[in-house]
Structure 1
Amino acid sequence: MASGSSRIPLTSTADFLACKFDYLIVGGGTAGLVVAARLSENPALTVGVLEAGPVAVGIEAIDVPGLYGQALGTDYDWNFETVPQRCLGGRTLAWPRGKVLGGTSALNFMTWNRASRDDYDAWRDLGNEGWGWDDLLPYFKKSESFHVPDEQNQKINSLYYDDQALGKSGPVQIHYASEYSASHVLWHETMKNLGIQTNKAHLSGSNMGAWTNLGSVDPTTGTRSYSTTAYYVPNASRPNLLLLTEAHVTKIILEQDDGEYAAKGVRFQRDGLSFSVSASREVIVSAGSVQSPQLLELSGIGDPDILSKAGISVKVRNPNVGENLQDHINDLKEDKSKADLARQQFNSSHTGPLTILPNSICYLPFSYIMSCDELHAVVEAISSTNPAFDPRQSIRQRRLDPSSSAKLGQIEFIFDLGNWNPYFKPAPSPDKKYATCLQILQYPFSRGSIHIASGDASNKPMIDPQYYSGVHGGSIDLSVMIHAARFAAYRISQTFPLAGIIRRRVFPPQSSPDDEDESFWRDWLTRTTITDWHPVGTCAMGGHKGMGSVGGGVVDHKLRVYGTKRLRVVDASVMPLQISAHLQATVYAIGEKGAAMILEDALLGN
């Protein structure tokens, strides 16, 4: 496959500046292109999209499912990293984010799932009207087009689904793969032998149990289905939709309007020059959980202390901008002749190894991985770490109650062939094959921040997730992860039939059980924990608290930035609480719902 943009009408800077826009969208990523497509369905509205990255249609590392991860660290990635993490031994972690049309939907691993009903209802319970499960389900379905697998595939690979919960005519193509890694056929039986049942409706409001993963892959072409191919390419010829790529927005233009600041347009840089462009109705920021708060701060919206240190005049005081950062915590091929054959097979028939994704999934409550006494100790520890009332923290604590936690997927396990751990480098050997069991903490108590260090938009923001640290109980996260690591090492990998293909554990190196005490696992997790790249919350919906300093937010339930007019944020950063799921499907639903609210306000003349 070769690079190409033949299906993307390229706009010049001059043509973009000459256009009179009703709406400007900052960021042509997962949510931004959803909003652009839906707004431009109305021919009376003119929509402009500014994307900092290039077009990458036809790039093999993005399009071919089995090459997932190869675009990370390339020019299609912002290549962010955290500040040194004190409780990870001073390590910095890479934070990949898509710098390409399609954003992170072009770089992710194509996992398509939803969180539990309780997760979205918690957003609503915080005072964000219209954001519960029942409210969001129509938008989940609107974004997706589910392809029914054949009966033999369903039977062999345990492919179950609730037909009524899935969309059939949305832009994003989703389906169960036709081929699986050799270990997948053992997954469900192994889980059943551990007392964990297969969830036959894992997209219907509960992700608990074991299931086979869906992927955002077009079964017709065998390629990744993402926001560029799903929402932009089919609508690229609309005369009222203009896209300007490789255009880095540096500031939102805010001007006084009846005593409030109103967004009038944006400033951006392209080809080494600076430009300004106006919007008569709204500016919509869809730059993601890292750069949406960065752009607000660069524009004068945020904590006065942070803005003043960066030399930026304060226009809207809001200490919540960039705070409330939550991320999933994760601990964690080369034979050229076989790779060439796999590529030939994919190019000729869209089959073979390059279609295979990690599909063996399980979500478990804490009660599966720790005793009642151990869970009670965690609850007691968390109860003492809430110095000021924060409704979000209250919900996190409520999730630990045995009556609630028993139905929530608090830890995710993924089993896949291959070495996923960046800290383990095996010696090449044709006689050895490796597998990895990933564990991912879904509701972390660790909370960090993302803030600017200067007023220069070319400088990367400071990302400080405070993994396993912070005043909110992050040390409890490490305690829970120790229990999860033990469950993976001593239960999952030692239960048949999966145990029948595992010779021994190589990382952490296996030793005698007497030596593998809590300090052994604590040290290993501190040295090897990484992120699962699911950051949320930095421009959170404020709900009942509004802009309140404790538990408050950055946007209201209609995603309008507090203290401003004509300015919204529509992306993962608006999520007030982390969810038990990979983010992709939820971000598409946020884009769909955000666009619907914008169109409703336009119709009402708001």
Structure 2
Amino acid sequence: MATDIKITEAEEFAARKYDYIIVGGGTAGLTVAARLAENPALTIGVLEAGGNGDGIDNIDIPGYSGRALGGPLDWHFETTPQPGLGGRKLPWNRGKVLGGSSALNYMTWNRASREDYDTFEELGNRGWGWDSLLPYFKKSENFHPPPPAFKDLHQTTYNEPSEFLGENGPINVSYTRDFSPAHAYWHATLNELGIPSNLAHISGNNVGVWTTICAVNAKDSTRSYAAHYLSSKPTNLYVLTHALAQQVILEKSDGPEQWTATGVRFTHGHRDFIASATREVVLSGGSVNSPQLLELSGIGNPKVLAAAGIPLKVDLPKVGENLQEHIMLPFVFEVDPTLPQQEDLLREEVAKMAYEQYKTDHSGPLSVLPCSMAYLPVSTLTSAEVVDDLFSKSKELTCFHPDHAPILSTRFEKGINLGQVEYVFDLGNWNPSFTPDPSLGKRFCSILQVLQYPFSRGSIHIPPNNPTASDSPIINPQYYSGPHGEIDLEIMYHGAKFAAEKIIKTKPMNEIVLGLAEPSGTDEKELREWIVRNTITDWHPTGTCAMGGRAGKEAGVVDERLRVYGVKGLRVVDASVLPLHVSAHLQATVYAVGEKAAEMIFEDAGV
């Protein structure tokens, strides 16, 4: 655990000379920091804007997942008003705590299909395909196999003996101790619709229906997250919390890279400090904060920097561009009133009993997480004619880089078997806009529908007029906007019809589901309007500091070694480097990015 990690004072931190400074103590940042600290000859510093979340129930207890969103451990970001969502703004929750968003998420542990990672190599980023990344996925993991009885009871299958799951990593991953009583209906219903159970969903193809693994320690049913990379308590790693990075310090140098990163200016307790790095500065602020800090440091699009009043040092127009995000629809259905609900935990007597059971034997409602999953191609959800039309429209788009466009378009070709839409099933009401009358005593279940390969492209930039790191950046995902956004809307519409007219009306699911609660119907006009009013984020932003591949800075911000173009000694290591989105929840992939980055840093330094 992270309990005894050395958290220093600001003066002490700034006085020390570091080989490497990592900005952001989140999922990727702590992975990199801990791995670099395995070399005792190096001195590593980590700057984290949040505090230490060790021992906080809202982080540790699986059944409390989501409670920390919007609280003091959250950055409280939000989007600009989105025309494609009827002018709504969406909250963009991100973890502001040691461990980052891995401390706040819903703990889903999965991977995309092989083809998703192989596209990174197809773009010219050598070493980023499935075969190259698999060792790094495994390096982060400590998989706990489930009891044998779980295989039939809860459909907990994986490759056994597994060549695809790690056994010695810092992040404990397992199937949950207990399962929702409705989970038993999920596999059977999808199977009835002709969708097979995927017996090896972690091994390079996630298409089908399956029970997900979670980032949970099977020994005590607690969240396992990035702060646990520090459990070895390295004496050469220094962490400063509540430290907000303001700027990467760049010094003029000779050669093709005219600037060198030599440190970081940060604030702590309303005071300014500078920390120096003799080898490299590594930005691990995530898809929001990493492009923000690059721009605050004078690296980015000249127009953005001029409007902000920041002198241009490195002309890099793709900083903050290429924003991609999974978008989600939360359907709500009325369900058999005898089934338990997560909402029951809001009742004092139920909450007390559940907490006592959890603390006694690590089981019960507080050990349960959403784990009923399915990833399906668009061809499963609608007619061949609709898919052909999407294919034709996607080939006509001109808003993508020429290297990206054919990859996005070919995902609609006949015979392609990729998880373009994800469904997650769970008891309870998961729609933040739906507030039923509690006096009616109705019970609900939800299906979350998530678009995996968005065509919508947005941006994240600093605001104009002399911004600082304390000013929230301008987050504009451009959901459903433009011709590319129209493709996203069309896929979500057909996916919605499948959820509301097929999944819920098929046995045995129809034995417990009484009817549609939100939306109220599936008339095309009504359903399309409901989609616009109810689409929300799935908290998986990527792409804002993407790997450029063979196109270089015309298409990205960093090279295949994650080095920022035009700057010596500066890398970005987090989800922002992914050039195209992947069909998976992101945390396992981000850990793999951090593991691979640490090894590359060692290789490039010759240490």
Q: TM-score, normalised by structure 1?
A: 0.95
Q: How far has the Cα of 1:235 moved from its partner?
A: 2.7
Match of 2:338 in 1: none
Measure the CA separation in 2 of the matches of 1:388 and 1:244. Answer: 40
Which one of the candidate residues 21, 28, 32 is aligned to 2:29? 32
Match of 1:47 in 2: 44
Measure the CA separation in 2 of the matches of 1:389 and 1:488. Answer: 33
Matches within 5 A, 1:64-213: 64-162=61-159, 163-213=162-212
Output the amino acid matched with 2:55. G
Which one of the candidate residues 238, 243, 246 is aligned to 1:247? 243
Measure the CA separation in 1 of the matches of 2:65 and 2:399. Answer: 42
Deviations, residues 308-342 of structure 1 (Å, cap 9, x unaligned): 00000111101100000000010121322111100
Match of 1:451 in 2: 461
Deviations, residues 389-446 of structure 1 (Å, cap 9, x unaligned): 5211221011111122xx1000000110000000100111474211001100000100
Output the amino acid matched with 2:575. A
Match of 1:479 in 2: 490
Deviations, residues 202-256 of structure 1 (Å, cap 9, x unaligned): 0000000000011000111211000112x01x133x2211000000000000011
Q: How far has the Cα of 1:464 moved from its partner?
A: 0.3
Determine if contact 1:537/1:574 at 8 Å carries over to the other structure: yes
SS in 1 for 2:264: strand
Determine if contact 2:108/2:215 at 8 Å carries over to the other structure: yes
Matches within 5 A, 1:418-457: 418-429=428-439, 431-454=441-464, 455-457=467-469
Measure the CA separation in 1 of the matches of 2:190 and 2:400. Answer: 41
Measure the CA separation in 1 of the matches of 2:439 and 2:109. Answer: 34
- CA 1:307–1:33: 2 relative to 1, 3 Å: same
Deviations, residues 486-520 of structure 1 (Å, cap 9, x unaligned): 0000000001111100011111114xxxxx43211
Match of 1:513 in 2: none
Output the amino acid matched with 1:140. F
Determine if contact 1:98/1:106 at 8 Å carries over to the other structure: yes
Q: How far has the Cα of 1:380 moved from its partner?
A: 1.6
Matches within 5 A, 1:305-324: 305-324=303-322
Measure the CA separation in 2 of the matches of 1:389 and 1:553. Answer: 10
Match of 1:566 in 2: 569
Deviations, residues 237-277 of structure 1 (Å, cap 9, x unaligned): x2211000000000000011114100000000000001111
Output the amino acid matched with 1:439. Q
Match of 1:575 in 2: 578
Unaligned runs of 5+ in 1: 511-515
Measure the CA separation in 2 of the matches of 1:24 and 1:576. Answer: 25
Measure the CA separation in 2 of the matches of 1:6 and 1:205. Answer: 35
SS in 2 for 1:66: helix
Which one of the candidate residues 553, 558, 568 is aligned to 1:555? 558
Paired residues, number: 587
Output the amino acid matched with 1:319. P
Determine if contact 1:27/1:49 at 8 Å carries over to the other structure: yes
Match of 2:333 in 1: none
Measure the CA separation in 2 of the matches of 1:359 and 1:255. Answer: 49
1:381 and 2:387 matched: no
Which one of the candidate residues 4, 11, 14 is aligned to 1:14? 11
Measure the CA separation in 1 of the matches of 2:548 and 2:168. Answer: 33
SS in 1 for 2:529: helix
SS in 2 for 1:368: helix
Output the amino acid matched with 1:375. V
Measure the CA separation in 1 of the matches of 2:113 and 2:68. Answer: 30
Deviations, residues 144-196 of structure 1 (Å, cap 9, x unaligned): 01111111112100111011111011110000112100110111111110000
Measure the CA separation in 2 of the matches of 1:116 and 1:364. Answer: 12
1:62 and 2:73 matched: no
Measure the CA separation in 1 of the matches of 2:406 and 2:312. Answer: 32
Determine if contact 2:266/2:273 at 8 Å carries over to the other structure: yes
Q: How far has the Cα of 1:6 moved from its partner?
A: 4.8
SS in 1 for 2:435: coil
- CA 1:485–1:387: 2 relative to 1, 3 Å: closer
1:537 and 2:543 matched: yes
Match of 1:413 in 2: 423
Determine if contact 1:447/1:470 at 8 Å carries over to the other structure: no
Measure the CA separation in 2 of the matches of 1:150 and 1:271. Answer: 49
SS in 1 for 2:553: coil
Output the amino acid matched with 1:272. H
Output the amino acid matched with 1:43. P
Determine if contact 1:153/1:178 at 8 Å carries over to the other structure: no
Unaligned runs of 5+ in 2: 331-342
Measure the CA separation in 1 of the matches of 2:254 and 2:3. Answer: 46
Output the amino acid matched with 2:531. L
SS in 2 for 1:506: strand
Match of 2:513 in 1: 502
- Range 152-161 or range 135-144, more displaced: 152-161
Matches within 5 A, 1:580-599: 580-599=583-602
Output the amino acid matched with 2:574. D
Which one of the candidate residues 495, 517, 533 is aligned to 1:527? 533
Percent sequence identity is: 53
- CA 1:569–1:388: 2 relative to 1, 3 Å: closer
Output the amino acid matched with 1:305. K
Determine if contact 2:176/2:221 at 8 Å carries over to the other structure: no
Match of 2:354 in 1: 342
Measure the CA separation in 1 of the matches of 2:105 and 2:303. Answer: 35
Measure the CA separation in 2 of the matches of 1:267 and 1:153. Answer: 52
